[in-house]
């Protein structure tokens, strides 16, 4: 007799230690849940959970492409993507703190 349990991605997610110990979300809170929503095809829910998910995907995609093809203005584009990601992540964190 085989027993099958309903196992979801959420069962394997790591808890946020910052939130657990200090009661305040960190800058990465929501990233795992957002990725899970993205895998399920819930694109707007993923954005609402963690807005930087799409800029991070763009950044990592660019890093892979630049690794293999060495674009001429690759360093400039990389810096721009890093700054945009930083702004989105920090902006989202500030909004979370204000709405806390």
Distance CA 65, CA 59 (A): 10
* Structural domain boundaries enclosing 70: 47-100
In a domain, 28, yes or no: no
Q: Is-contact 30 49, C-beta < 8 A?
A: yes
Q: Is-contact 40 8, C-beta < 8 A?
A: no
In a domain, 66, yes or no: yes
In a domain, 21, yes or no: no
In a domain, 93, yes or no: yes
pLDDT digits (tens, 9 = 90+) for 38-96: 999 999 999 999 999 999 999 999 999 999 998 899 999 999 999 999 999 999 999 98
Q: Quickly state the pLDDT bin for 2 (edges 50, 70, 90).
A: low
Distance CA 100, CA 95 (A): 8
pTM summary value? 0.79
In a domain, 100, yes or no: yes
């Amino acid at each position: 007799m085989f027993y099958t349990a309903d196992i979801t991605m959420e069962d394997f997610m790591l808890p946020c230690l910052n939130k657990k110990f200090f009661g305040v979300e960190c800058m990465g809170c929501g990233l795992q849940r957002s990725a899970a929503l993205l895998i399920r095809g819930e694109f707007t829910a993923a954005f609402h959970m963690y807005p930087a998910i799409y800029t991070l995907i763009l950044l990592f995609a660019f890093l892979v492409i630049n690794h293999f093809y060495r674009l001429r203005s690759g360093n400039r584009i990389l810096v721009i993507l890093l700054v945009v990601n930083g702004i989105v992540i920090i902006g989202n964190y500030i909004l979370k703190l204000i709405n806390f």
